[in-house]
Amino acid sequence: MSAAAELSAVAAADHGRIPVLDIGSYLAGNAGAAAALARAVARACEDTGFLVIADHGIPPRLVEDTFAVAARFFARPEADKLALKVGRYNIGYLPFGGQIVRHSPVNRNTKPNFSESFYITRDRDPEHPDIVNEKPLVDLNRWPPDMSEFRAAATVYYTAMESMTTRLVPVVAMALDLSPDYFAEAFAEPNCTIRLIHYPPHPNPEDNEFGFAPHTDNNFLTFLAQSALPGLEVRTAEGEWIRPPAVPGTFVVNTGAMLARYSNDRFRPTPHRVINRDGASRYAIPFFLGPNHDVVVEPVPTCVGPENPPRYEPTTYGAFTQRLLTLNFAHRRADSGATQ
């Protein structure tokens, strides 16, 4: 299918398949709000795995500042960006050509993403025990030395997002018919990442070329602030590509592989992709929420039974992440000696 034909085949935003949920009443602690929200979340996760949240409490300025510093960083000279190139744990700058998404369940991706990224994780001091002891998957952030506003904006955004997103974990537990505190230990110190992404104009992509190739996320939940330009497309179970509702000031939320494992595929991760067919650069600042690296992830009791045995062996988020980093990123494959 040509790019033009595929564009016409992408449905407009579908508010029925991807609902917009106001979470303000729940965050305020109103009686009955948690149960009602959990039912709505369960319906969305059983269908597309995507929803949109409004009245989430994140100040608009935090989102705007993060978009702004992302745009300024990606506009810097290539040498400045490459000085902060990602290392073994994917923290810092990932240049064009650095990722081929090989784990897609719906497409055999053969070309690198037509985008560049910058990864930010929990900010730690060099003296932090996890840094001193070289804990796997933990390292220092790679901040631009002459962009203090970059670190300031990203750190404030990270802190606010971690607080808001972890408050929704009890809702997910309730959606799975568990007690609200079921995941409390797993998310006591969650593994979170901000990925700043720059998608240059891409009006005529080549065959099997995407800003971000069709994939599913690896974490628990992803929270994507609405971008100024469209580009995100979601694949329904029927194979149709649709766009989430573009409601300013909201977050698009989707399920990841960890939630699929916990739910024994009751809440499957939905494939999605990005194609920037506009004539201007598109920026994205997704926030990825995951459990602690050392927590064992396995199907929960309410999602298994005699006629529904576990589909997944227990694993830790750390072990799962290590495998996918090696699979999808060129620098990790080179380090491990893996072949194409």
Each residue's pLDDT, cut to its tens digit, for the chain (340 residues) gives 333 333 333 434 445 799 999 999 999 999 999 999 999 999 999 999 999 999 999 999 999 999 999 999 999 999 999 999 998 788 999 999 888 888 777 778 889 999 999 999 999 999 999 999 988 889 999 999 999 999 999 999 999 999 999 999 999 999 999 999 999 999 999 999 999 999 999 888 889 999 999 999 999 999 999 999 999 999 999 999 999 999 999 999 999 999 999 999 999 999 999 999 999 999 999 999 999 999 999 999 999 999 999 999 999 998 888 877 766 555 444 444 433 2
pLDDT of residue 330: 52
pTM here is 0.91
Query: CB neighbours of 71 closer than 8 A, spacing ≥ 6?
Result: 198, 281, 283
**Cβ atoms within 10 Å, residue 264:** 20
Tokens standing for residue 306? 């005699």
pLDDT of residue 285: 98
Query: CB neighbours of 331 closer than 8 A, spacing ≥ 6?
Result: 85, 86, 87, 88, 98
Ramachandran angles phi, psi of 26, nearest 5°: -65, -45
Tokens standing for residue 56? 């989430």
pLDDT of residue 12: 40
- The Cα 58–Cα 64 span in angstroms is 11
pLDDT of residue 44: 97
pLDDT of residue 7: 32
**Helix, strand or coil for residue 79?**
helix
Query: CB neighbours of 107 closer than 8 A, spacing ≥ 6?
Result: 208, 213, 214, 271
Phi-psi region of 264 (alpha: psi -120 to 50; beta: other; left: phi over 0): left
Distance of CA 151 to the CA centre of its chain: 20
